[in-house]
Amino acid sequence: MTKTNSKDAVSEAKERVLLGLNPRQVEAATHVEGPLLILAGAGSGKTTVLTRRVAYIIASGWEPWSILAITFTNKAANELKTRIAALLGEQGEGVWAMTFHSFCARVLRAEFPGIGRSGRFSIADDSDQLKVMKACLKELNLSEKQYPPRGILHAISNAKDELMGPDEYAARASTFYETKVAQAYSLYKRKLLEMDALDFDDLLMETVLLFRGNPRILQKYQERFQHILVDEYQDTNRAQYELTKLLAASHRRIAVVGDDDQSIYTFRGADIRNILDFERDYPECKVVKLEQNYRSTQVILDGAFNVVKHNLERKDKRLWTSKKGGLPITVYAGQSAEDEARFVVSEIERLVGEGLPLSSCAILYRTHAQSRSFEEAFINAGVPYTVLAGFRFYERKHIRDAVSYLRLLAYPKDRLSLERVANEPPRGLGPAAIEKIVRYAQEQDVGLVDAMCSAESIKGLTRPQKKGALELGTALMEMRRAASSLPLGQLLHDTLEKTGYLEALRNEGTSESQSRLEDLSELMGSLRQYDEMENPLYSFLENCSLASDQDSYDEKKESCVMGTLHSAKGLEFEAVFLVGLEEGLLPHSRALLDERQLEEERRLMYVGMTRAKLRLYLTFAFARNGYLGPTRTRVSRFISEIPRELLEVRIWED
């Protein structure tokens, strides 16, 4: 540290960087000695505080390069750098503002050569990891059907989040499946080493292990970074927690910013206890609560607080705003999912007619599957929309897979559909095998399903390929015969079941595969609307094609935003519609018997509510369609936790 500035210059610089901050923000920005926990509520200006804190530290005489500011996204890191540059100019150059992974990669490239490892490693992305894992399973003679590669990678990722290597994982394995995961983990690690590659989880784990095993290297970085700032601390996992704890161990100048009420990423390995137990780890820490909200009306804040206050695992705080009052929170009870969607879209059209920009309206839901009815309502109304963090419903791979299975039932010579699903799930039917099946079908003048049923007669197919083709062809032939006697949703369900598609998703056992299963269930339920038509299967396939054609969004046009509650974190909108507020959706069915999961669902609700600036709508449906028929719903308990005087209730009328 150098303190070369005169007292007057220092004081002037300090005053300048604190202009416009409220008293609590000033308190957070100016506490530069010792640990600091900043509990930053939604819309409380935490990025502003982080920026001003960095500037204040520099104004106090610390070198910019002695400051490490860690964020979770490159976007957040770049925004922090931009704000620092705008505030300090050249004086702010040198601050290390980056993500956890960027920091770790930089450390490893610098330090690996000193311990006999190459610093010129590659970083394996998702597709690379999948490719390596498939090679591992093949070498171990493990079936991808029984041991889905993505499921194995998910288990390994969880282990690395907990800083658990292959040997420790093997020692803790308590089931046959876990012993096979341990074998795959060990081989996967060896193959990455042979390739001189690390995956994203390795970046964190290897850096922690490097610091633990090399005190000299750790000391170097402890002395280099005299101030540690960590954003979104409630989202840190075990590896990230250990990393920051090691870096701050000597000087203990660590400031963490977060909001336990917005901890919603347990499925990614985040541990809310990291922020809840910060005061245990640093007993001398100062706690600053940023409770003044600059985004929402007091009505919205009061509604959100009355929901989240029911959680036991939380810090005591309550947001307030100078914007007193506000419009009541609208609760709408629809007759069906389609009715709910029509109401929401019509209400958005009304708001836009009153002058609200379409892009300032957002529809937020718990699962991707819920987007289907709203997308159809938007298309019918001719209102443009954008889906956050993902593909539109009919563009999702698993939905296109399901439609392709149905197309094969309807169109015997649909080669494109066969190419799409022949190996979904894996059956050993690659491009060469498909080409042989197609050629045989052409020679015999039969459909592709018929050709696969005659797989034994197709020259050039290996024994496993004949088996795979015969199983697929037999399943599809059976479903084709049953097509006219089954409701369309049931037909799709049975087709995906008999072809092994649903089983493969269930076996994968990841949160992503669960989301895909929910999407497929939503699709099956939506197909009931075609059952009364003359040709349900053909009517759906035609409508699906037309919907896809209309579903091309021009990014230059203003559009309504749709997305999951997880994808909306950090965003804000003038009007927010939280939809599908029913038991089993929000809170999700997986959380109903687990108190910790239920609390996270409540935090999701809180995050969604606090995205709204002026207007907040909470909607649900009395019934939803499943492939076996309409199912009655129960309104989410979270709505009942909001005081009645804050609500305006509107009920569906025929």
Give catalytic residues, as residue numbers.
46-47, 231-232, 262, 611
Strand, helix or coil for residue 621? strand
Question: Is the peptide bond preceding residue 431 cis, with omega within 30 degrees of 0?
Answer: no
Please give the full DSSP string across 60-81, using - where no structure is assigned. TT--GGGEEEEESSHHHHHHHH
Residues 491, 549: Cα–Cα separation, whole Å: 25
Q: At 56, which amino acid appears?
A: Y
Residue 653 burial by CB count (10 A; 0-12/13-18/19+): exposed, middle or buried? exposed
Residues of the chain by 3-state class (helix, strand, coil), percent to 5: 55, 15, 30
Q: Which residues contact 594 (CB under 8 A, 6 or more apart)?
A: none
Q: At 243, which amino acid appears?
A: L
Give the position of tokens 């369900």.
Answer: 493
Question: CA-based Rg of the chain, rounded to a whole angstrom?
Answer: 28
* 483 closest CA partner among 549, 582, 406: 406
Length of the chain (residues): 654
Tokens of 465: 């390929």
Tokens of 223: 């002395």
Distance of CA 51 to CAs 92, 282, 569, Å?
10, 23, 20
**How far does Cα 30 stand from its chain's mean position?**
34
Task: Judge whether 249 and 222 are in contact, CB under 8 Å.
Answer: yes
* 62 closest CA partner among 92, 21, 26, 82: 92
Tokens of 517: 């299963």
Task: Judge whether 299 and 646 are in contact, CB under 8 Å.
Answer: yes
